[in-house]
C-alpha cells in the first residue's frame, strides 16, 4: 500500500480488535501507526504452529512486556484460543493489544465476547474516496474496486483480484473447513457475486447454482462471517403500501464481486457499472460511519413497482416519543442527472410522514444541482461534504 494514501481510521488508545477482509491493509496500517514491543503474525507458519499447539506460550513470550506497551496479534482467528490468554494478560499486566481478524466466524466460536467492554472494535474498509482524493480514479474504482493492493498496482488489477478469490476459497473456506464441499460453494459464490448490490433472492441463487436453498442460506452466512459480504436491510417507513422487506446483498468490494462472478476479464455491462458505483458510494458512507464512530443504521427503501431509494441513513433513533429521522441518498452512474430521478427523492423528503429530513443525489457529473429539498452532488463533492459532517 502506498504511503501516499492516509487512512481515515484513528488508532484507539486502548486494546482493540481490528476486523476487515484480507487485502484492506490491516497489517500495513498497524505497522505504520504503532510501534509494538511484539508483533505476532499468525499467517507465519512457525508462529501459527507454536501457538496452536500451546496458546499459553503467549504468557512466556510476553513476560518482559510492560504495562501500557503494545502487542500486535495479526489474524487472530487462526488461533482463536489465544483470546483467553490475551484477556488474562490485559487484566493482569495491563498490556495493550491490537488484535486483527479477517473472519468473525472462528472468533465468535471462541467467545470473543470475553473482550467485550475491554477491547474497542474497529473495522477497516477498502479505500474510501476521501483517502484516494483523485477524481481520475473514480472510473477505475467502478471497474476494479478500491482494495489497497489493486489501487497500488492498477496494471495488475485483474490478476490481483482473480488471485484474491482463489486465496479466499483456499484459506478462508477450505482451510478453515467452514463447509465440507468446496465445489458447490464455488458455484454459489459465482452466482451470488452476479447479484451484487441487488435484492437478496435466495431462491434464484439456489436455482442458478444448483445448490439447495437451505445450503444457500448457510453460504450467505459464511460470506458475512468471513467479512466478504453484508446485507443492507429494507426500511419499513409505513409511508407507502407494498414496501419491500427484502434486504439487498453487497460484497464488501465491487472488484472482488466482479472477480468472484467470473467477469473480471469481460466487458462490464452498464447495469453492473451502476451497481458498482452504488457500492462505491455505500463503501464511502460505511467507512465514514465507522471511522467517525457515528454508528448510524443504514438501509435501502423500496416500494414494489414504483420507488427504490438506494441508501437510507438513520440520523436520529427513535427514543420514547421522539421519532426517527433519516437522510435519503440516490446514486446514479451517469454524468447527467435526469430530472425524473429527482421525483421519488423530492416526494419522500417533502412528506413529513416519511421523516426524511434531507435527500441527496450522487452522480458523476460536475454540477451541484438544488431542486427543492433535494441536493444533487458530484461524487467527489458528496465525499467532501460527508467527511466534513454535513450529510450526517
> What secondary structure, in 3-state letters, does 220-270 show?
HHHHHHCCCEEEECECCCCCCCCECCCCEEEECCHHHHHHHHCCCCCCCCH
Kindly state whether residues 164 and 258 are assigned to the same domain.
yes
Mark whether 221 and 119 lie in a shared domain. Answer: no
Residue 109: predicted pLDDT: 59
Looking up cell 446514479 gives: 332
How do the pLDDT tens digits run along the chain, 392 residues long?
444 589 999 999 999 999 999 999 999 999 999 999 999 999 999 999 999 999 999 999 999 999 999 999 999 989 988 998 999 999 999 999 999 998 877 676 555 555 656 789 999 999 999 999 999 999 999 999 999 999 999 999 999 999 999 988 877 777 655 666 789 999 999 999 999 999 999 999 999 999 999 999 999 999 998 899 999 999 999 888 899 999 999 999 999 999 999 999 999 888 899 999 999 999 999 999 999 999 999 999 999 888 899 999 999 999 988 999 999 999 999 999 999 999 999 999 999 999 999 999 999 999 999 999 999 999 999 999 999 999 99
pLDDT of residue 2: 43
23 and 114 assigned to the same domain: yes
Q: How many domains is the chain built from?
A: 3
Indicate the helix (H) or strand (E) that contains 363: strand 356-363
User: CA 166 from chain center: how many Å?
Assistant: 20
Asked whether residue 2 is domain-assigned, the answer is no
**Which residues, in sequence order, are bridge partners of residue 234?**
300
Instruction: Provide the H-helix boundaries in 1-44.
Output: 26-33
What CATH code is carried by the domain that includes residue 325? Answer: 3.40.1350
| Helical pair 254-261 and 157-167, crossing angle rounded to 10 deg | 70
Q: Is 216 left (phi over 0), alpha (psi -120 to 50) or beta?
A: alpha
* Residues 168, 193, 9, 29, CA torsion sign: positive
Identify which of 11, 48, 15 has the alpha carbon closest to the alpha carbon of residue 30: 11
**What local confidence, expressed as pLDDT, does residue 112 receive?**
52
Whole-angstrom distance, CA of residue 42 vs CA of residue 21? 15
Domain identity same for 167 and 146: yes
Q: Does 204 fall in a domain?
A: yes
Task: Say if residue 25 is in the same domain as residue 105.
Answer: yes
Residues 36 and 119 in one domain: yes
**Same domain for 93 and 78:** yes
Query: What's the CA gap between 360 and 369, in Å, rounded?
Result: 10
335, part of any domain: yes
Domain end, chosen from 72, 92, 123, is at: 123
Look at residue 273 and tell me if it is in a domain: no
The backbone region for 227, taken as left when phi is positive above 0, alpha when psi lies in -120 to 50, beta otherwise, is: left
Residues 85 and 144 in one domain: no
Look at residue 223 and tell me if it is in a domain: yes
Residue 180 is predicted with a pLDDT of 67
The residue out of 236, 268, 300 marking a domain boundary is: 268
| Residue 238, in any domain of the structure | no
Is residue 274 assigned to a domain? no
Nearest to 273 by CA among 292, 260, 258, 252: 258
> Assign residue 210 a region: left if phi > 0, alpha if psi is -120 to 50, beta otherwise?
left
Looking at the structure, tell me whether residues 135 and 209 fall in a common domain: yes
Cα–Cα dist 169/35, whole Å:
33
Q: Which domain holds residue 162?
A: 129-228+252-268
3-state helix, strand, coil in the chain (%, to 5): 45, 20, 35
Q: How far apart are the first and last CA of the chain?
A: 30
In a domain, 326, yes or no: yes
Structural domain ending residue among the three candidates 94, 123, 152: 123
Taking a C-beta distance cutoff of 8 angstroms, is the pair 250, 197 a contact?
yes
Three-class secondary structure of residue 10 per DSSP: coil
d(CA 234, CA 199): 9
Q: Are residues 291 and 219 located together in one domain of the fold?
A: no
Residues 263, 141 share a domain: yes
Query: What does the alpha-carbon distance between residue 257 and residue 273 come to, in Å, rounded to a whole number?
Result: 12
For residues 117 and 204, state if they share a domain: no
Amino acid at each position: 500500500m502506498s504511503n501516499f494514501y492516509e487512512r481515515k481510521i484513528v488508532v484507539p488508545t486502548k486494546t482493540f480488535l481490528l476486523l476487515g477482509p484480507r487485502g484492506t491493509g490491516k497489517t500495513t496500517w498497524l505497522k505504520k501507526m504503532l510501534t509494538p514491543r511484539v508483533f505476532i503474525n499468525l499467517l507465519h507458519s512457525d508462529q501459527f504452529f507454536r501457538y496452536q499447539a500451546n496458546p499459553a506460550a503467549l504468557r512466556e513470550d510476553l513476560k518482559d512486556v510492560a504495562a501500557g506497551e503494545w502487542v500486535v496479534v495479526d489474524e487472530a482467528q487462526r488461533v482463536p484460543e489465544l483470546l483467553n490468554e490475551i484477556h488474562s494478560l490485559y487484566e493482569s499486566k495491563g498490556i495493550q493489544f491490537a488484535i486483527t481478524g479477517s473472519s468473525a466466524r472462528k472468533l465468535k466460536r471462541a467467545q470473543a465476547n470475553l473482550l467485550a467492554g475491554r477491547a474497542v472494535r474497529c473495522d477497516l474498509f477498502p479505500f474510501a474516496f476521501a483517502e484516494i482524493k483523485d477524481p481520475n480514479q473514480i472510473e477505475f474504482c467502478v471497474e476494479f474496486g478500491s482494495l489497497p493492493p489493486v489501487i497500488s498496482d492498477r496494471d495488475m488489477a485483474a490478476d490481483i483480484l482473480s488471485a484474491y478469490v482463489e486465496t479466499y476459497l483456499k484459506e478462508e473456506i477450505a482451510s478453515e473447513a467452514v463447509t465440507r464441499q468446496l465445489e458447490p460453494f464455488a458455484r454459489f459464490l459465482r452466482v451470488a457475486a452476479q447479484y451484487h448490490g441487488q435484492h437478496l433472492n435466495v431462491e434464484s441463487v439456489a436455482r442458478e447454482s444448483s445448490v439447495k436453498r437451505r445450503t444457500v442460506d448457510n453460504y450467505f452466512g459464511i460470506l458475512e462471517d468471513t467479512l466478504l459480504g453484508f446485507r443492507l436491510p429494507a426500511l419499513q417507513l409505513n409511508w407507502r403500501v407494498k414496501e419491500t422487506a427484502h434486504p439487498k446483498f453487497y460484497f464488501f468490494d465491487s472488484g472482488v464481486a466482479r472477480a468472484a462472478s467470473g467477469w473480471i476479464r469481460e466487458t462490464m455491462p452498464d447495469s453492473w457499472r451502476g451497481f458498482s458505483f452504488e457500492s462505491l458510494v455505500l463503501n464511502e458512507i460505511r467507512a465514514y460511519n465507522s471511522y467517525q464512530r457515528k454508528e448510524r443504521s443504514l438501509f435501502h427503501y423500496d416500494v414494489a413497482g414504483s420507488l427504490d431509494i438506494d441508501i437510507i441513513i438513520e440520523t436520529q433513533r427513535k427514543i420514547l416519543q421522539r421519532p426517527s429521522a433519516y437522510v435519503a441518498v440516490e446514486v446514479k452512474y451517469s454524468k447527467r442527472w435526469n430530472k425524473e430521478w429527482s421525483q421519488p427523492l423530492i416526494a419522500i423528503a417533502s412528506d413529513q410522514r416519511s421523516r426524511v429530513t434531507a435527500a441527496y443525489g450522487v452522480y458523476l457529473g460536475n454540477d451541484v444541482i438544488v431542486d427543492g429539498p433535494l441536493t444533487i452532488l458530484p461524487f467527489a463533492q458528496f465525499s467532501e461534504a460527508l467527511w466534513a459532517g454535513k450529510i450526517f
